[in-house]
Amino acid sequence: MANSNRPDLEPLTRLQILGIMGITALILLLVAKIWQRLDSVTILLPRWTSEAVLLGIGLAFAITAASSLIYRLWPAYRHSADLYLELILKPLIWPDLLWLGLLPGLSEELLFRGVMLPALGFNWSALVFSSLLFGVLHLSGLKQWPYMVWATMVGFVLGYSALATGNLLVPILAHILTNFVASCLWKTGNSVGFPSS
């Protein structure tokens, strides 16, 4: 049975979504580890400091608020985000939202900010390139380009936080919390305007 909003896309079950998230996280972690070994990359490590925790939390809420604003102001993004949220979040139950925060937050940050940024030079060009690739990772179809644009901007902000602090914990926490908070807000039905990345 096809999704009435996207007749070309079959709805996924809860187990399919969890499986895809798990497999994707494993693939990204594997790519990060292979890249690190082949290129002898010194990865950016997470360091637990109170400053990093506060920065990560603050950044998560800033991204969530910006997403809400863009959702309200940009109709193409709103449509793209609604399709994504309907497809990914609707079948999930509350405990699954922890996995939705943790799996992408850890695996994507390790690859894009932990390995890719240092491997490409840990500079502005590395930041731009890794942000673009992060955006492309979130492209699920050509009609989803507004969501890819948003993910690219979020990737830039997360990457900049890694460059500015030299601490992978900041973007990890921001990513995990952004996904988790956005998912919880959508599940409660209070607002559809907080899509995750």
Identify the band that residue 197 occupies on the pLDDT scale cut at 50, 70 and 90. low
Give domain status of residue 197, yes or no.
Answer: no
Give domain status of residue 94, yes or no.
Answer: yes
Q: Can you tell me the distance from the alpha carbon of 147 to that of 149, in angstroms, rounded to the nearest whole number?
A: 5
Give domain status of residue 179, yes or no.
Answer: yes
Give domain status of residue 65, yes or no.
Answer: yes
What are the structure tokens assigned to 119, written together?
A: 């491997």
Summarised one tens digit per residue, pLDDT across range 41-87 is: 899 999 999 999 999 999 999 999 999 999 999 999 999 888 888 88
Give domain status of residue 6, yes or no.
Answer: no
Give domain status of residue 8, yes or no.
Answer: no
Residues in the chain: 197
Q: What is the dihedral of CA 109, 113, 119, 124, to 10 degrees?
A: 160
Domain count for the chain: 1
Q: Can you tell me the distance from the alpha carbon of 108 to that of 178, in angstroms, rounded to the nearest whole number?
A: 13
Contacts of 161 (CB under 8 A, 6+ apart): 55, 56, 59, 170, 171, 174
Contacts of 25 (CB under 8 A, 6+ apart): 103, 104, 106, 107
Summarised one tens digit per residue, pLDDT across range 114-149 is: 999 999 999 999 999 999 999 999 888 888 899 999
Q: What is the residue range of 164's domain? A: 14-188
Most confident residue range from 36-40, 54-58, 183-187: 54-58
Give domain status of residue 53, yes or no.
Answer: yes
Contacts of 141 (CB under 8 A, 6+ apart): 9
Give domain status of residue 4, yes or no.
Answer: no
